[in-house]
């Protein structure tokens, strides 16, 4: 069993409502999850299920009303100010590769920023590291002088992956990193993420809504619905034998080119348990 890297304990997160009365609207309620070092935990659910809220809490972009988040035995939810080491150790890959890259910066500037912040200001070291990272994600080092507009969506996401790897993190939060890409490019990026994990040992908290894709990339799957965890377990088990009706419904909604697989998904488990 892999050493525990991230632990989420009974976390509840609410957003303020808009209207005549001030009250909190829960987005996540009592969610508990663990992620081992070098592994991938996939958090899957439909839009509005709370999965991105969980990711934002781990990144400390949101606070929690209750519960605790632990990273390497440090209580993340107790930070009054997020320490620099945590920003180095926990990075993110965002859904929209165009919006997440500064259009005025060159690719070298974008990838070099975390190196300057967390490692060194040495120009030759930075150039060497940028070239190494571009090669690692399947891009030519000569592309470093270009700006994001010169690249396709898939190439921009590769640049986003290179930027996330620049600080040598232990955990990358992947917030639907392929949902804005076409199907063939999705497969390429997912395979790249798998290769990077094998090479570096980085762990992923992978957010998504496509169960088939999440099964391919995850060691374990957690299914969330209306802010609550409804099912969690090994990825193959959750995909092949869902225990909850909502998980089976998600599987049935996943397009498949194999009609036999499609029919099995639509049939669902022999006996569905209620959430």
Give tens-digit pLDDT for 73-118: 999 999 999 999 999 999 999 999 889 999 999 999 999 999 999 9
Give the side-chain half-sphere CA count within 13 A for 244: 16
Query: If you compute the radius of gyration of the chain from its CA atoms, what whole number of angstroms results?
Result: 19
Same domain, 100 and 144: yes
| Pair 39, 21 in one domain | yes
**Domain shared by 40 and 133, yes or no:** yes
Q: State the total domains in the chain.
A: 2
55 with 97, same domain: the answer is yes
Residue 38's pLDDT is: 97
Q: Are 64 and 100 part of one and the same domain?
A: yes
Question: Is 210 found in the same domain as 273?
Answer: no
Those residues whose C-beta lies under 8 Å from the C-beta of residue 268, and which sit 6 or more positions away, are: 242, 245, 248, 249, 251, 252
pLDDT number for residue 267: 42
Q: Which domain covers residue 251, as residue numbers? A: 241-275
Are 197 and 271 part of one and the same domain? no
Whether 41 contacts 218, CB under 8 Å: yes
d(CA 146, CA 109): 10
β-sheet bridge partners, residue 43? 207, 222
Burial of 19 (0-12, 13-18, 19+ CB in 10 A): exposed
CB atoms within 10 A of CB 230: 20
Q: Which two tokens stand for residue 262?
A: 């499609």
Considering the domain architecture, whether residues 156 and 263 belong to the same structural domain is answered as no
Q: Is the dihedral of CA 124, 145, 100, 164 positive or negative?
A: negative
φ and ψ of 55, to 5 deg:
-60, -45
Query: How many residues are listed for the chain in this entry?
Result: 275
Q: How does pLDDT run across 169-212, given as a tens digit for each residue?
A: 999 999 999 988 888 899 899 999 999 999 999 999 999 988 88
Identify which of 200, 132, 195 has the alpha carbon closest to the alpha carbon of residue 169: 200
The CATH number linked to 235 is 3.40.50.300
CA distance 101 to 156: 8
User: pLDDT at position 264, please?
Assistant: 44
CA distance 240 to 243: 10
- Tell whether 84 and 97 lie within a shared domain: yes
Give residue 18's pLDDT band: very low, low, confident or very high (50, 70, 90): low
Q: Is residue 220 within 8 Å of residue 234, measured between CB atoms?
A: yes
* Main-chain dihedrals φ then ψ at residue 227, nearest 5 degrees: 80, 0
59 and 172 in a single domain? The answer is yes
Residue 174 shares a structural domain with residue 265: no
Are 114 and 157 contained in the same domain?
yes
**pTM for the whole structure:** 0.88
């Amino acid at each position: 069993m892999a050493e525990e890297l991230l632990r989420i304990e009974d976390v509840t997160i609410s957003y303020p409502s808009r209207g005549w009365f001030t009250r909190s609207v829960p987005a996540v309620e009592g969610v508990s999850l663990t992620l081992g070092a070098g592994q991938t935990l996939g958090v899957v659910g439909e839009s509005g299920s709370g999965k991105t809220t969980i990711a934002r809490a781990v990144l400390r972009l949101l606070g929690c009303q209750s519960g605790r988040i632990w990273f390497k035995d440090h209580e993340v939810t107790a930070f009054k100010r997020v320490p620099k080491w945590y920003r180095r150790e926990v990075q993110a890959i965002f859904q929209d590769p165009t919006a997440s890259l500064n259009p005025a910066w060159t690719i070298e500037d974008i990838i070099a920023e975390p190196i300057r912040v967390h490692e060194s200001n040495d120009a030759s070291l930075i150039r060497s590291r940028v070239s190494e990272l571009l090669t690692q994600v399947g891009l030519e080092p000569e592309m470093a002088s270009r700006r994001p507009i010169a690249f396709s969506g898939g190439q921009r996401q590769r640049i986003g992956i290179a930027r996330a790897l620049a600080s040598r993190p232990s955990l990358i939060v992947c917030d639907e990193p392929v949902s804005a890409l076409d199907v063939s490019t999705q497969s390429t990026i997912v395979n790249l993420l798998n290769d990077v994990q094998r090479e570096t040992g980085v762990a992923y908290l992978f957010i998504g809504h496509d169960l088939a894709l999440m099964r391919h990339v995850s060691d374990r799957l957690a299914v969330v619905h209306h802010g609550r965890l409804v099912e969690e377990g090994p990825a193959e088990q959750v995909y092949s034998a869902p225990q909850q009706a909502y998980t089976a419904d998600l599987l049935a909604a996943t397009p498949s080119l194999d009609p036999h697989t499609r029919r099995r998904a639509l049939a669902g488990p022999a006996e569905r348990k209620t959430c």
